[in-house]
Amino acid sequence: MGDSQRRGHGIGKNRQDLINPMTGNPYTPRYYELLKSRLKLPIATYKQKFDELMERPEVPVICITGETGCGKSTQVSQWCMDYVNRTALTGARKMVGHILPRRVAAMTVAQRVADEVDVQIGQQVGYHIRFEEMFSKMTQLKFLTDGMLLREIISDPFFEKYSVIIMDEIHERTLATDILLGCLKEILRQRDDLKLIVMSATLDAGKFSKYFNDAPLIAVPGKTYPVDIFYVPEPEKDYVEAAVRTVVQIHLTAEEPGDILVFLTGLDEIEDTCKRIKEEVDKMGDDVGDIKVFPLYSTLPINQQAKLFESRPPDKANGARANAQQRAGRAGRTGPGKCFRLFTEKAYQSEMQDFVYPEILRSNLGSVILNMKKLGIDDLIHFDFVDPPSPQSLFTAMETLNYLAAINDDGDITELGSMMAEFPLDPQLAKMVIASCEYNCSNEILSICCMLTVPQVFVRPAEARRAADESKIQFAHLDGDHLTLLNVYHAFKQHGDSPQWCYENFINFRSVQSADGIRQQLSRIMDRFSLPRRSCDFTSKDYYTNIRKALVAGFFMQVAHKEKSGHYLTIKDQQIVQLHPSTCLDHKPDWVLYNEFVVTAKNYVRTTTDIKVDWVVEIAPAYFQSENLPNCEAKRILEKVRAKLIARGRLKA
Ligand SMILES: Nc1ncnc2c1ncn2[C@@H]1O[C@H](COP(=O)(O)OP(=O)(O)OP(=O)(O)O)[C@@H](O)[C@H]1O
Ligand SMILES: [Mg+2]
């Protein structure tokens, strides 16, 4: 509903007679209630300016920034609907696509906007998130995640369905967002009937304005409600402890009723903090009021998240000023608030980087490239990234993908690569999973893969180190840590997914449980590609050998050789490393495959498995060709093995 139409009717006059043009029904009382507060939002006064910019053909992109709660997400999408209805030729109306990086946000904002325009969700206003479609032929405004829009580009490369695309919460800088921005910039060059709105709560919008050839920027000042900010005078050693203490203190001393929102970095921390707050308050007895504590995190079932309130789940531990600023904003969303920062003001000013690193610079570049290739974006060197990765890192990642046979020598994605891109895994893991079918052990590799993807499964509490270490021994496998993880997973399933069993055996229940969930997801992807899920007979002598070979098929680039001097040298970059003390290998094999390179005071390789040199040469002959190898002891051994395998006809010369 646009302001212009509203003015024409006059609010409050003959309410009963006003008809919602979208539904043909009279507006409900709820509509007027919401309308009153909508018109008071800080952004409301910018509608005219926005409309003027939208009318100008030479302005394809508009950037909008404003404090959280000022009305960006809920109002601008409605303005865009108005624009489409105003300008579309009859019958030619296209959609408004509103992109949010998080599923819960897409869903809750859609619901809110549907309420505000007085329609049923799924009709004129809908959403589309993974595993959930809530839209129809009637839908004019569709909320979707960036991942969903990326999928649409495959079948609709110019986004012809849309006449306006709103990229919201752009400061989150997810990988999908970054790729989409690059694509949209190109699409805008070719479609003059497409408008792009870029929105952000924080001020890096200036950067995006520049990226889109100095697009006009609407900056909405002011907050809905005041928020007072408090810092701790001294740095806190234990911020969980500090958070608990602060919450209890607020609960005891607050004069007004209200809610407290605590931002933490991870699931365990959240659960732990909830428990401790409850305990502390219970301890104080009847003198203090009761407190209700709810956890909220991204893996909580989506309806439970949405039920609580519209909010972003906690972020990773990456402290950035933009985040802190946005979180303070959360406090002032529905009323005045206070924000207690558990760091010092000095730290805020001097130690925090301004913004989180975009995901594209944090994540495995191989995955990024594979996904882009899959989308048909071939020229990565000239792709217009907002924050381009270095050419060197692009080149290295391409090389890796080539060794994994995900792209061919011309840089084109292969059938295997295209399959790998469908797995939400780093390329090496994806390759390992796919290859495991040939080694007759895809069931086991799938389990190992999932155990590698989740946080540490072995718990080692400070007060029970020895007990924990002793408990770990019962799972230990002679050939290494990957197989040990497999033993843990099998034991967990044998004990009926029991949290109690986990607790008694120093296993992190949440981790294995989440591994189990990921396993189901990955299984479905395997089924889609008819990748058979197989196991070798457990009593066969090949059972474990096959699994280790499949590990090599994915991770041949991560092997280390024990030199005569007794230390290990990684083949790829010739680093001296030690086996991590957590390993359950009780011997020092000549060759190990590792999952992770850890740099502390010393260099370690963590999660290691004993492998045979013959396997690496046979499984990855291109990688272990001698011209690729630096001069070292290992090179001479590899050359000998290669010659031997050729002589036996197991390898082509
Ligand atoms: N689900 C909801 N329930 C109640 N009020 C809501 C809801 N969603 C939005 N509002 C109200 O509408 C206002 C505008 O919300 P909107 O989401 O459009 O803000 P925003 O500028 O996009 O903020 P952010 O940067 O946090 O995304 C809020 O201040 C709040 O008062
Ligand atoms: Mg918003």
Answer for the pair 367, 268: CB distance below 8 angstroms, yes or no: no
Render pLDDT for 140-189 as a digit per residue (tens, 0 to 9).
999 999 988 988 887 788 999 999 999 999 988 888 888 899 999 999 99
Higher pLDDT, 97 or 233: 97
47 lines ligand 1 (CB under 6 A): no
Residue identifier of the C-alpha nearest atom 2 of ligand 1: 112
Give the per-residue SS3 of 1-14: CCHHHHHHHCCCCC
How distant, in Å, are the alpha carbons of 400, 425, 520, 538, 567 from that of 393? 11, 19, 33, 42, 29
327 CA distance to ligand 2 middle (Å) = 13
Closest ligand to the CA of 330: 1
171 lines ligand 1 (CB under 6 A): no
Three-state secondary structure call for residue 15: helix
Closest ligand to the CA of 109: 1
% pLDDT > 90, the chain:
55
What is the per-residue pLDDT for 272?
83
Q: Is the pLDDT of residue 3 over 60?
A: no
Element (H, E) at 366: helix 365-374
74 CA distance to ligand 1 middle (Å) = 6
112 lines ligand 1 (CB under 6 A): yes
331 CA distance to ligand 1 middle (Å) = 12
326 lines ligand 1 (CB under 6 A): no
Q: Is the pLDDT of residue 30 over 90?
A: yes
220 CA distance to ligand 1 middle (Å) = 14
Residue 332: Cβ within 10 Å count: 20
What is the per-residue pLDDT for 500?
97
87 CA distance to ligand 2 middle (Å) = 25
Lowest pLDDT segment from 160-169, 237-246, 535-544, 601-610 = 237-246
In terms of average pLDDT, the best of 207-211, 351-355, 459-463, 587-591 is: 587-591
Ligand 1 atom at shortest distance from the alpha carbon of 74:
18
Q: Report the chain's mean pLDDT, rounded to a whole number.
A: 87
In terms of average pLDDT, the best of 197-206, 383-392, 394-403 is: 394-403
Q: Is the pLDDT of residue 312 over 50?
A: no
Element (H, E) at 199: strand 195-200
Q: Is the pLDDT of residue 480 over 60?
A: yes
Residue 433: both structure tokens together: 């999973």
Strand intervals (E) in 293-344: 337-341
180 CA distance to ligand 1 middle (Å) = 25
Ligand 1 atom at shortest distance from the alpha carbon of 71:
18
Taking residues 593-606, report their average pLDDT: 90
217 CA distance to ligand 2 middle (Å) = 16
What is the per-residue pLDDT for 13?
52
Closest ligand to the CA of 113: 1
Residue identifier of the C-alpha nearest atom 31 of ligand 1: 334
% pLDDT > 70, the chain:
88
71 lines ligand 1 (CB under 6 A): yes
In terms of average pLDDT, the best of 207-211, 298-302, 439-443, 624-628 is: 439-443
Answer for the pair 420, 427: CB distance below 8 angstroms, yes or no: yes
Closest ligand to the CA of 201: 1
Q: Is the pLDDT of residue 363 over 80?
A: no
What is the per-residue pLDDT for 643?
94
265 CA distance to ligand 1 middle (Å) = 24
Q: Is the pLDDT of residue 4 over 80?
A: no
- Residue whose CB lies within 8 A of the most ligand 1 atoms, among 73, 107, 113, 169, for a mutation test: 73
Q: Is the pLDDT of residue 200 over 50?
A: yes
What is the per-residue pLDDT for 385?
87
* Greatest Cα-to-Cα distance within the chain, rounded to the nearest angstrom: 95
- Nearest in space to 344 (alpha carbons), one of 326, 324, 327, 329: 324
Within 8 A by CB and 6+ apart from 492, the residues are 498, 501, 502, 507, 512, 516
Three-state secondary structure call for residue 591: strand
Rounded CA gap, 397 and 484, in Å? Answer: 30
What is the per-residue pLDDT for 354?
59
Answer for the pair 3, 49: CB distance below 8 angstroms, yes or no: no
**DSSP code at position 531:** -
- Nearest in space to 483 (alpha carbons), one of 613, 578, 608, 588: 608
Q: Is the pLDDT of residue 297 over 80?
A: no
What number of H helices and E strands is found in the chain? Answer: 26, 15
Identify any residues that bridge with 61 across adjacent strands, giving them in sequence order: 196
Residue 129: both structure tokens together: 């998130």
Rounded CA gap, 276 and 145, in Å? Answer: 35
Q: Is the pLDDT of residue 80 over 50?
A: yes
Answer for the pair 141, 77: CB distance below 8 angstroms, yes or no: yes
Rounded CA gap, 142 and 119, in Å? Answer: 13
Ligand 1 atom at shortest distance from the alpha carbon of 76:
18
Residue identifier of the C-alpha nearest atom 11 of ligand 1: 69
Higher pLDDT, 296 or 105: 105
What is the per-residue pLDDT for 147?
86
Answer for the pair 200, 171: CB distance below 8 angstroms, yes or no: yes
Answer for the pair 482, 595: CB distance below 8 angstroms, yes or no: yes
Q: Is the pLDDT of residue 7 over 60?
A: no
214 CA distance to ligand 2 middle (Å) = 23
What is the rounded (10 degree) CA torsion for 571, 577, 583, 588?
Answer: 70
Identify any residues that bridge with 63 across adjacent strands, giving them in sequence order: 198, 217
- Residue whose CB lies within 8 A of the most ligand 1 atoms, among 72, 100, 204, 325, for a mutation test: 72
